[in-house]
């Protein structure tokens, strides 16, 4: 079975398991989506949602966070990892959005990735979930699963993104990256499946007997 055949099987299984998919991070608009994705680095979606549900009813525009200032933003997000660094990024990017983009989140990868605290993965999520632009956000979670499923050689997340985009139809990307995340959390866990027990692993590799070694991103 080659990688193209595996990709077709995986897409079929994921569409059966998750015909409809919800965006895990709660947001009020594209700006708050950007903030939530930024906050989710090294933090669970559940923790981010628990924190932001107390923030977004009152603060949901760049001007709100500019007026708050770094110290007050820190207090609002202190339950989230590396909150001081993230508070600084939120404050700085809010100022930039006001000054350069009329308080609107830009709709290009180039402009998004110039914002403080915003890398390619964060920009991809915003482009995908915020603007509906075909994108394939790849984090370490998807990187790990793509290796287990024989879709990439595992050099880094950049290579994994290229491989996944090559193997799957563009129209499936926005939904698929979320399907992979949900499936991994439920069935193909890092310290549970080991590439040996879930439906995708056993279907794609019926003769596999050794745990899969993963190359870190």
Contact 17, 179 (CB under 8 A): yes
215 pLDDT exceeds 90? no
Please, which pLDDT band fits residue 214 given cuts at 50, 70 and 90? confident
Which CA distances in Å does 15 have to 134, 149, 177? 18, 16, 12
Whether residue 47 is found in the same domain as residue 93: yes
26 pLDDT exceeds 90? yes
Verify whether residue 163 is a known catalytic residue: no
Verify whether residue 121 is a known catalytic residue: yes
Give the C-alpha separation, 37 to 197, whole Å: 31
Note the pLDDT tens digit of each residue in 71-92.
Answer: 999 999 999 989 999 999 999 9
| pLDDT at site 30 | 98
12: Cβ contacts below 8 Å, ≥ 6 apart:
none
| pLDDT at site 180 | 97
Query: Which of the residues 102, 121, 207, 210 is marked catalytic?
Result: 121
154 pLDDT exceeds 90? no
CA 68 from centre of chain? 27
> Which pTM was predicted?
0.92
Average pLDDT, the chain: 95
Q: What is the domain count for the chain?
A: 2
Backbone angles phi and psi of 46, in degrees to 5: -60, -45
| pLDDT at site 33 | 98
Q: Which of 87, 115, 130 is the last residue of a domain?
A: 130
Query: Which of the residues 66, 86, 139, 163 is marked catalytic?
Result: 139
Determine the average pLDDT of the residues in 114-122: 96
Q: Which of 100, 130, 160 is the last residue of a domain?
A: 130
User: Can you say whether the dihedral through the CA atoms of 97, 35, 185, 131 is positive or negative?
Assistant: negative
Whether residue 110 is found in the same domain as residue 164: no
Whether residue 155 is found in the same domain as residue 126: no
| pLDDT at site 190 | 80
The verdict on residue 217 lying in a domain is no
Note the pLDDT tens digit of each residue in 173-195.
Answer: 999 999 999 999 999 998 889 99
Q: What residue numbers bound the domain in which 74 lies?
A: 30-130
Note the pLDDT tens digit of each residue in 158-175.
Answer: 999 999 999 999 999 999
For Cα atoms 215, 196, 201, give the angle at the middle one, nearest 5 degrees.
80
Which CATH number characterizes residue 98's domain? 1.10.340.30
Percent of the chain with pLDDT over 90: 90
């Amino acid at each position: 079975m080659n990688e193209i055949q595996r990709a077709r099987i995986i897409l079929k299984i994921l569409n059966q398991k998750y015909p409809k998919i919800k965006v895990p991070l709660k947001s009020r608009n594209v700006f708050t989506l950007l903030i939530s994705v930024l906050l989710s680095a090294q933090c669970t979606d559940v923790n981010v949602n628990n924190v932001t549900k107390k923030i977004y009813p009152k603060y949901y525009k760049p001007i709100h966070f500019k007026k708050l200032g770094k110290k007050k933003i820190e207090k609002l997000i202190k339950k989230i990892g590396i909150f001081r660094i993230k508070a600084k990024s939120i404050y700085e990017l809010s100022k930039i959005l006001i000054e350069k983009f009329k308080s609107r989140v830009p709709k290009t990868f180039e402009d998004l990735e110039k914002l403080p605290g915003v890398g390619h993965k964060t920009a991809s999520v915003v482009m995908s979930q915020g603007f509906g632009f075909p994108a394939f956000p790849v984090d370490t979670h998807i990187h790990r699963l793509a290796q287990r499923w024989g879709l990439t050689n595992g050099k880094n997340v950049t290579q994994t993104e290229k491989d996944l985009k090559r193997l799957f139809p563009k129209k499936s990307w926005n939904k698929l990256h979320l399907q992979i995340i949900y499936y991994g959390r439920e069935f193909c866990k890092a310290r549970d499946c080991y590439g040996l027990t879930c439906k995708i692993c056993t279907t794609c590799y019926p003769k596999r007997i050794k745990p899969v070694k993963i190359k870190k991103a």
